[in-house]
Structure 1
């Protein structure tokens, strides 16, 4: 059923090869540069694509799908050149668009079967695959209802199902948690993570919520005004800072009192967000010192944890546009 491994392997797409590769990729419009000399390799697993509005994320996805031409530079997807092999790439890649674009009077089953056929599956195989993916995304019981009666969460699941129906090697997910409540967002993130782990499909996912990408991504690519700001493993973004975040309560100026006591003891301490204190972590004895000083000052110790860098720190350091940390 579906496309053979030999057919699905693009030229030069051997083991360990990047699923996406760009070289000096540039896209200009009359009054704006959407991509500016972007050179990046993206491998398997789940990769988060981060950037403020206008950073070039959507433009990059459209170029990778062969929907719009680049002004200059090169891009390959699964070993195929986007300038020459757009149709072939689209047959091997699943795409979940950001905006609501589903026909209201069609069922999720009929839509998914139809798009499976458009991707090259014969009708019996498309029906079988549609039933499988709709079950995976949690729409097994609702698959014959018209999409117009779906909730936002169900519509997002239907969009995800159609992106998976033809068993792609790569899926491009544009803001898959848009409009979802916290519970539905968690469910969608779990599905995205499963695609990259249990299903073994490479995933490129965009989100303006940085905390989401920290939770599910193996790698993160950060764009700023069309330029590559950083690309690395997620764990490299979240490395330890060598400091403790300490939260105390019990007095109106509890954080100031603790900070001053630590300075008097020769330990660097600075104010942090949320009325907390950021404390230099010298060794394990630092934890004991913080605890003892809090007791001496009559303060309640609410929280004491090692501080890690976040993806949002890259934007602060790089001066990128506004994105949301949570």
Structure 2
């Protein structure tokens, strides 16, 4: 069982002008942002600065400059207290060979300050919640990939923290396993009131469970906030579906100044109508050409388009270099660090 967390007053994370150097290399560049409690996506390409940001929040490294708070506690002065308020699920396997699942999760609880008996009881509860009760006495190396991911999540949850930091929680999972993990994370955030920061290169994972997003590129924050507020809403772009002779209708629309950027299927197309048109004009033309428009859906920017727009804009603004274009719309270009 996972206890509901008390609502956090104020931002769950707030940073002001935070920079991080490794020698002469600057991994974070004057990072300033705040995010509210809830499910938060952290996205960026390989080397963008996500791992450094997670290490800062966990208190594993001190910022070279700047200041910040997590759950209202100072990143530097109160970092020992913060560690008991956060759970971390690393991308690396991080399991101990020869140790049973229940003992590993209980050990994670003890390392967070729980008495042994309480940690063991909580380990049984969390493993049951994550459907690992029948495997709790198996050795870690005997778990499947999906079970290992849930075991790592159990270790992050055992001390019942209000904030979870998750690094690639769906890595290595098949479609069913990925779907199951995302459903678990959504339930943890929505039903139990936990805040979570999900670091991943899979934009679909963020789009599915997160309300807010942090977009980082080359150590700089390009966008932060509620996904719906960051997206562009195009007034004159629609997804049109029809029944009948769509070719005649499309030709008539294009003759009137409509552009057709793409056609996902034979009976549908994305269209951009002129500024002085209204959707009614499209329906009137469809009647003239004896074609039924079954759907005319406003087309808003999706998370993939938002990400690549911000990264592309930042690359254009830089004096040298250019943003690497993603190969598809499902992920950022390259695996994250």
> Is 1:32 paired with 2:22?
no
Q: Deviations over 1:116-167 (max 9, x none)?
A: 1111111221122111211222212211111111111111101111000001
Q: Which residue of 1 aligns with 2:318?
A: none
Q: Deviations over 1:265-320 (max 9, x none)?
A: x2522322647432328544256357557755xxx989753312112223332315
**TM-score, length-scaled by structure 2:** 0.82
Q: Which residue of 2 aligns with 1:190?
A: 183
Q: Which residue of 1 aligns with 2:329?
A: 325
Q: Which residue of 2 aligns with 1:310?
A: 302
Q: Which residue of 2 aligns with 1:244?
A: 238
CA RMSD of aligned residues (A): 2.9
Q: Check the 8 A contact 1:24/1:39 in 2, yes or no.
A: yes
Q: Which residue of 2 aligns with 1:271?
A: 261
Q: Check the 8 A contact 1:245/1:279 in 2, yes or no.
A: no
In structure 2, relative to structure 1, the CA distance for the partners of 1:287 and 1:208 (3 Å cut) is: farther
Q: Which residue of 1 aligns with 2:251?
A: 260
Deviation at 1:248, TM superposition (A): 7.3
> Is 1:288 paired with 2:283?
yes
User: 2 CA distance for matches of 1:37 and 1:236?
Assistant: 23
> Is 1:132 paired with 2:136?
no
In structure 2, relative to structure 1, the CA distance for the partners of 1:284 and 1:89 (3 Å cut) is: same
What does residue range 13-162 of structure 1 map to in structure 2 within 5 Å? 16-30=9-23, 32-162=25-155
Q: Which residue of 2 aligns with 1:216?
A: 209
Q: Which residue of 1 aligns with 2:193?
A: 200
Count of equivalent residues: 310
In structure 2, relative to structure 1, the CA distance for the partners of 1:283 and 1:138 (3 Å cut) is: farther
User: 2 CA distance for matches of 1:294 and 1:138?
Assistant: 57
Q: Check the 8 A contact 2:231/2:306 in 1, yes or no.
A: no
Q: Check the 8 A contact 1:259/1:277 in 2, yes or no.
A: no
Q: Which residue of 1 aligns with 2:166?
A: 173
In structure 2, relative to structure 1, the CA distance for the partners of 1:60 and 1:260 (3 Å cut) is: same
In structure 2, relative to structure 1, the CA distance for the partners of 1:261 and 1:21 (3 Å cut) is: same
In structure 2, relative to structure 1, the CA distance for the partners of 1:244 and 1:301 (3 Å cut) is: same
User: 2 CA distance for matches of 1:249 and 1:28?
Assistant: 59
Q: Check the 8 A contact 2:35/2:225 in 1, yes or no.
A: no
Greater mean alpha carbon deviation, residues 132-141 or residues 153-162: 132-141
User: 2 CA distance for matches of 1:290 and 1:135?
Assistant: 59
In structure 2, relative to structure 1, the CA distance for the partners of 1:103 and 1:271 (3 Å cut) is: same
In structure 2, relative to structure 1, the CA distance for the partners of 1:116 and 1:322 (3 Å cut) is: farther
